[in-house]
């Protein structure tokens, strides 16, 4: 057999039709049978494309002209949308974004999990899908003698300076602008990755949506901040509502944002926010859901799927700072939460005390080790809640769930492909996936969160 010839060459301009959208939000289509990925192109569009990269079985193209536009195409309101890597879907109208996310979940469950029988609901969206993020983590750089701050350009470490990010709460923009301006005027330097010189690496801003409390975190390459008092005073004058200014020291050559040492420069160590009727203390390094409006919808759905009557023992296998555990505890007999990050468990215990919730027990460790140990002590879950990272559940944990045989499992997922893989394992182990509710936690990005109701096969509702 002769070698298959590739019908396009680099820098060639072609016309083609876009037939689908990848999980990264790129348009995809075929040109004479050859697959091409085209960022910012939409399904159903006829486009003119310049080929920029060719591999053996696929290539990449740059969108040059839209000959026939999709009815779902929208004009991105963000002026730096095409340069910045933060959002991927602003060129699609919001209703279609929600439909595409539902389709992504459907495709993954079918293709990876072989789960054709599962009911998948339409994605729960936001009434106003802008300004929803309560936390900004912004790298700081230098340009023409002044400080710049923004998100990285897609696929690079080049900082795109910005004054406003339309998915961030306005207060976070105010904080970043204030730090850039004041630090520049005081001659405080930005960190340079290549030379490992300079001081300010990142500015992290956090806001309590319900409380209005603001935290500023300055991440520095060293302990000493020159003219520290003037910097603090300037920030306080420019931004209302600040409760906490914190310094985190990270002197390592690393892409990891936070270092080990944190100290409070002004005000409190924490700010507070509420989800539903639960109050949470948020420290500089504690993980807290970034979209509190949608988090409440997500947790209410998890609570519904858990089917609690007040008599159940619940195990929360990736409990973080106790957000889901505490949400469920008021409706359960007892909740056990396990998490590998010690600081998160420390925060979870504080949050339990803050809300006077006593029917929770938190432990530090790997879920796949702690839960079998609990099981050996006679602790058996009626309901298991799992909210793993993007890589999905550890195999040992899935085996433990299958052995423990809880009546119900609630799976909260941020990655449809690993969700599909794990659901397949649970199905093969005697569970039945009943329904899936996608929730749009991150509008205008490709990410989609899901809450899944799973039951023991024999205890399925008739």
Q: Tens of pLDDT along 175-211? A: 999 999 999 999 999 999 999 999 999 999 999 999 9
The active-site residue out of 78, 393, 414, 450 is 414
Percent of the chain with pLDDT over 90: 91
Contact assessment for residue 397 and residue 368, using Cβ atoms and an 8 Å cutoff? yes
pLDDT of residue 85: 82
Q: How far is CA 351 from the centre of its chain?
A: 22
Question: Of 153-167, 183-197, 250-264, which gets the smallest average pLDDT?
Answer: 153-167
* Banded model confidence at residue 91, pLDDT cuts 50, 70, 90: very high
* Banded model confidence at residue 4, pLDDT cuts 50, 70, 90: low
pLDDT of residue 284: 94
Q: Tens of pLDDT along 265-299? A: 999 999 999 999 999 999 999 889 999 999 999 99
* Banded model confidence at residue 2, pLDDT cuts 50, 70, 90: very low
Question: Of 84-98, 148-162, 222-236, 379-393, which gets the smallest average pLDDT?
Answer: 148-162
pLDDT of residue 151: 87
pLDDT of residue 407: 97
Among residues 326, 386, 385, the alpha carbon closest in space to that of 358 is found at 326
Q: Which two tokens stand for residue 228?
A: 């520290």
In angstroms, how far apart are the furthest CA atoms of the chain?
A: 75
Contact assessment for residue 246 and residue 269, using Cβ atoms and an 8 Å cutoff? yes
* Banded model confidence at residue 3, pLDDT cuts 50, 70, 90: low
Contact assessment for residue 77 and residue 85, using Cβ atoms and an 8 Å cutoff? no
pLDDT over 50 (residue 457): yes
Among residues 307, 292, 360, the alpha carbon closest in space to that of 330 is found at 360
Percent of the chain with pLDDT over 70: 98
Q: Tens of pLDDT along 46-56? A: 999 999 999 99
pLDDT over 90 (residue 1): no
pLDDT over 60 (residue 460): no
Q: Tens of pLDDT along 317-345? A: 999 999 999 999 999 999 999 999 998 99
Q: What is the chain's mean pLDDT, rounded?
A: 95
Q: Tens of pLDDT along 394-428? A: 999 999 999 999 999 999 999 999 999 999 999 99
- What are the structural domains of the chain? 13-68 (2.40.50.140), 98-127+291-459 (3.40.50.150), 135-275 (2.40.50.1070)
Contact assessment for residue 375 and residue 400, using Cβ atoms and an 8 Å cutoff? yes
Active site residue 450: no
Q: What is the pTM of this model?
A: 0.92
């Amino acid at each position: 057999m002769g070698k298959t010839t590739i019908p396009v060459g680099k820098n060639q301009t072609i016309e083609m039709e876009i037939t689908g959208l990848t999980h990264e939000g790129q348009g995809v289509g075929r040109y004479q049978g050859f697959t091409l990925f085209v960022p910012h192109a939409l399904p159903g569009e006829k486009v003119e494309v310049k080929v920029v990269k060719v591999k053996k079985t696929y290539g990449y193209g740059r969108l040059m002209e839209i000959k026939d536009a999709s009815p779902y195409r929208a004009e991105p309101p963000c002026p730096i949308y095409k340069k910045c890597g933060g959002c991927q879907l602003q060129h699609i109208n919001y209703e279609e974004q929600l439909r595409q996310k539902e389709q992504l979940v459907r495709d993954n469950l079918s293709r990876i999990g072989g789960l054709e029988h599962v009911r998948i609901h339409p994605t729960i969206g936001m009434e106003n899908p802008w300004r929803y993020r309560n936390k900004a983590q912004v790298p700081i750089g230098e340009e023409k003698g002044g400080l710049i701050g923004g998100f990285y350009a897609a696929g690079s470490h080049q900082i795109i300076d910005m004054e406003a990010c339309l998915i961030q709460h306005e207060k976070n923009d105010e904080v970043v602008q204030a730090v850039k301006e004041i630090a520049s005027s005081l001659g405080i330097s930005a960190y340079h990755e290549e030379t490992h010189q300079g001081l300010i690496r990142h500015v992290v801003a956090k806001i309590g949506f319900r409380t209005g409390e603001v935290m500023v975190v300055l991440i520095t390459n060293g302990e000493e901040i020159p003219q520290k008092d003037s910097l603090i005073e300037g920030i306080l004058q420019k931004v209302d509502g600040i409760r906490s200014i914190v310094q985190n020291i990270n002197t390592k050559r690393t892409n990891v944002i936070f270092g080990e040492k944190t100290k409070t420069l002004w005000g409190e160590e924490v700010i507070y926010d509420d989800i539903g009727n639960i109050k949470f203390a948020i420290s500089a390094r504690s993980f807290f859901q970034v979209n509190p409006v949608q988090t409440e919808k997500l947790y209410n759905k998890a609570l519904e799927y858990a089917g609690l009557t007040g008599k159940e023992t619940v195990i929360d296998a990736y409990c973080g700072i106790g957000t889901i555990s505490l949400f469920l505890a008021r409706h359960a007999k007892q909740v056990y939460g396990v998490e590998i990050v010690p600081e998160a468990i420390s925060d979870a215990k504080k949050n339990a005390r803050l809300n006077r919730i006593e029917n929770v027990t938190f432990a530090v460790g790997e879920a796949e080790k702690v839960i079998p140990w609990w099981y050996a002590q006679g602790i058996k879950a009626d309901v298991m809640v799992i909210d793993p990272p993007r890589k999905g559940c550890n195999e040992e944990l899935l085996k433990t769930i299958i052995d423990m045989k809880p009546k119900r499992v609630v799976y909260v997922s941020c990655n449809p492909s690993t969700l599909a893989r794990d659901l397949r394992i649970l199905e093969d182990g005697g569970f039945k996936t009943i329904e899936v509710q996608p929730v749009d936690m991150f509008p205008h990005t490709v990410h989609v969160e899901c809450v899944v109701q799973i039951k023991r096969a024999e205890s399925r509702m008739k």
